[in-house]
Structure 1
Amino acid sequence: MRNHAQQEDDTEINMTPMLDIVFIMLIFFIVTAVFVKDSGVTVLKPEAETAVQQGQVSILIAVTADDEVYINREETELDALRTAVEKLHAENPKGSVAIQGDQEADAVLVMKVYDAIRDAGVDKIAIATELK
């Protein structure tokens, strides 16, 4: 009888190593994932014949027709934009920034947004357009 009970214990599968591997893989995928920030509003982007697909855009900033600036689904003042971009760019330094300017947005405001992003230390800045 004792041999039978010992035999049952020996045939159990130890799941601990498999769970360890699953958790390590989960941590790996979380750490290596690139999180895209959403601007939070929809804008009507201008058309361009020379539009090029951008890779690794990590920050989207929208300038609406009402001349409001949105980043991370929140309206942001132009004065606070540089700080917000610095913080988000520090999270993903390899990513770039895309400005989604509405067709009816003030061009001067779009250029001020561009300057604030450049002042935040970001070198890769794109203007989002629709392919013609």
Structure 2
Amino acid sequence: MDEDKEESEINLTPMLDVVFIMLIFFIVTAVFVREPGVDIERPAAVTAVDPGGGSIFIAVTANNEIWIDRREIDIPGAKSQIERLSSENPEAGIIIQADGQARNEVLIAVMDAAKEAGIADITIAAGD
């Protein structure tokens, strides 16, 4: 009788191994969108287009604060943050979400930091 019971059991270990491997695969290959961490009033543009793809978002507020990955940073620290995020996603471009009241000097400093970090694909986001 014990022999019949042992033969009728299903071994679930291989199935669980496959499920965990698939879970790890989907977690590793998922593209995570990193938002800058603040809301920005972007100026409108008639010719705005959606760049698509995975991107690194940088926000410049009306108070000329720079936000990357939900953290406020200063201009000298922008390059190192961009390099860090670019190493995590080498295919990503930069999307700068600048407030309409932000100073051009800060926007240009962020663009320079991105270029110094080796990013050539830089986009300035416009409102709807």
TM (norm. structure 2) is: 0.96
Residue 56 of structure 1: how far off its partner (Å): 2.1
Larger Rg: 1
Residue 25 of structure 1: how far off its partner (Å): 0.2
**1:68 aligns to 2:34 (yes or no):** no
Q: 1:28-80: per-residue Cα shift (whole Å, max 9, x none)?
A: 00110112211011010110111111212331110000111111111101001
Partner of 2:118: 121
Partner of 2:88: 91
SS of alignment partner, residue 75 of structure 1: strand
Identity of aligned residues (%): 46
Partner of 1:14: 11
Given that residues 54 and 91 in structure 2 are in contact (C-alpha distance below 8 angstroms), is that contact kept between their aligned partners in structure 1?
Answer: no
Which contiguous aligned blocks of 4+ residues in structure 1 show a shift greater than 6 angstroms? Answer: none
Gaps of 5+ in 2: none
Partner of 2:47: 50
Q: 1:64-98: per-residue Cα shift (whole Å, max 9, x none)?
A: 00111111111101001001100110000011111
Aligned length: 128
Residue 9 of structure 1: how far off its partner (Å): 0.7
**1:35 aligns to 2:32 (yes or no):** yes
CA distance in 2 between partners of 1:72 and 1:106 (Å): 21
Given that residues 57 and 98 in structure 1 are in contact (C-alpha distance below 8 angstroms), is that contact kept between their aligned partners in structure 2?
Answer: no
RMSD: 1.0
Partner of 2:22: 25
